[in-house]
Amino acid sequence: MRRMKIAILDDYLRVAETLADVRRLPPGSEVVVFDRPIPDRDELVAKLRPFDVVVLMRERTPLPAAVIENLPNLRLVVTTGGRNAAIDLAACRARNIPVSGTGSVGTPTAELTWGLILALVKRIPAEDRALRAGTWQTGLTEGLAGKRLGLVGLGKLGTQVARVGLAFGMEVVAWSPNLDDARAVAGGAKRVEKAELFATSDVISLHLVLGERTRNIVGADELSAMKPSAFFVNTSRAGLVDMDALLAALQTRRIAGAGLDVFPEEPLPPSHALCALPHVVLTPHLGYVTRENFAVFYQDALEDILAWHRGAPVRLLT
């Protein structure tokens, strides 16, 4: 096999080569890190054409058939995490290109969810800005004990969020298309209907996988049913929410505020209307961006490449 050329995409922080020992790669291997998004498809194809291996950071850069079919040297795709809906797996199978995933650390997104909730109810960003500008206290904060936490989705992440809500003395309710009473209780919540969750919760947080059944599962009807004092948090996927409806609810102060980590367009341009809203806390898709998680991502990605080079690919998604 000729010397490998490996492309690492979307390593915005340029940490891949510090978290994984690339010296373990076969002699002569060339690693090129791309630390900025490449949204233009033709440019992406041109930049990736020389490479044998492409390492993707989750779903930051899509790899559709139109790209895969124009990469004649591509022999292996590695994605961080255990799934990546932005890769056309059928196109990879048609080319006999294995796709390997990695492990991950299971708690960062739940932690960030609570960071956003606390930032909203305790007015942390607003009070920080005011204090730095010379103003001491600008408004009352909210307590959480006795309030209702509504979780849309009660899988692994939703359950982690529920446990913290219970520790704060909150009443935790949940709904998802397949949730039953027994699973809700096991996850620390009471199952309610979707309409009740949106109408009665003080904080609503989304924890669903994006798919055809869940796309825009939160729309204008759900948002208009929320209490004016309620907060909305999304650390899952932007496609779960009708963004136009959410933006309208926020711009008209129909709801108290939102904490958002995911967006229809990423990176979110600073000119976006969300950036002008002071009652919205925004983070740049940080849910999985921790040192511990990235160490697993990139070390497993290295192991994937080495295993493939030995002729025994591991953690295959295809």
Please list the active-site residues. Answer: 237, 266, 285
| CB neighbourhood size of 251 (10 A) | 13
What's the structural domain count of the chain? 2
- Is 69 inside a domain boundary? yes
Distance CA 312, CA 307 (A): 5
Residues 153-178 have a mean pLDDT of 97
pLDDT at 275: 98
* Residue 52 lies inside a defined structural domain of this protein: yes
Q: What is the DSSP letter of 239?
A: G
Which pLDDT band, with edges at 50, 70 and 90, does 37 fall under? very high
Residue 199 in any domain: the answer is yes
For the residues of 21-82, what is the DSSP string, one character each? -GGGSPTT-EEEE--S----HHHHHHHHTT-SEEEE-TTSS-B-HHHHTT-TT--EEEESSS
Taking only the tens place, the pLDDT of each residue in 116-131 is: 999 999 999 999 999 9
Which CATH number belongs to the domain containing residue 230 in this structure?
3.40.50.720
Q: Are 192 and 244 contained in the same domain?
A: yes
- Band (pLDDT 50/70/90 cuts) for residue 318 is confident
Shared domain check, 265 and 172: yes
On whether residue 10 sits in a domain, the answer given is: yes
In a domain, 151, yes or no: yes
d(CA 201, CA 147): 8
Q: How many residues does the chain have?
A: 318
Mean local confidence (pLDDT), 88-110: 96
Is the CB of residue 104 less than 8 Å from the CB of residue 293?
Answer: yes
pLDDT in the model for residue 1: 53
The answer to whether residues 125 and 82 belong to one domain is no
Are 25 and 73 contained in the same domain? yes
Residues 99 and 163 in one domain: no
228/264 same-domain check: yes
Alpha carbons 137 and 119: distance in angstroms, whole number: 15
Residues 141 and 199 in one domain: yes
Assess whether 211 and 230 both reside in one domain. Answer: yes
pLDDT tens figures, 172-210: 999 999 999 999 999 999 999 999 999 999 999 999 999
Q: Are residues 141 and 249 in the same domain?
A: yes
* pLDDT confidence band for 212 (50 / 70 / 90): very high
CA 303 to chain centre: 24
314 in any annotated domain? no
In a domain, 317, yes or no: no
Helices 156-167 + 108-121 axis angle, to 10: 40
* Domain shared by 83 and 153, yes or no: no
Q: Average pLDDT of 280-302?
A: 97
Mean pLDDT of 63-83: 97
Domain, as residue range, for 47: 5-105+290-309
Same domain, residue pair 299 and 181: no
Decide if 315 is inside a domain.
no
- How many angstroms separate the CA atoms of 104 and 256, rounded? 34
Looking at the fold, whether 80 and 196 belong to one and the same domain comes out as: no
Quick one: pLDDT at residue 106?
82
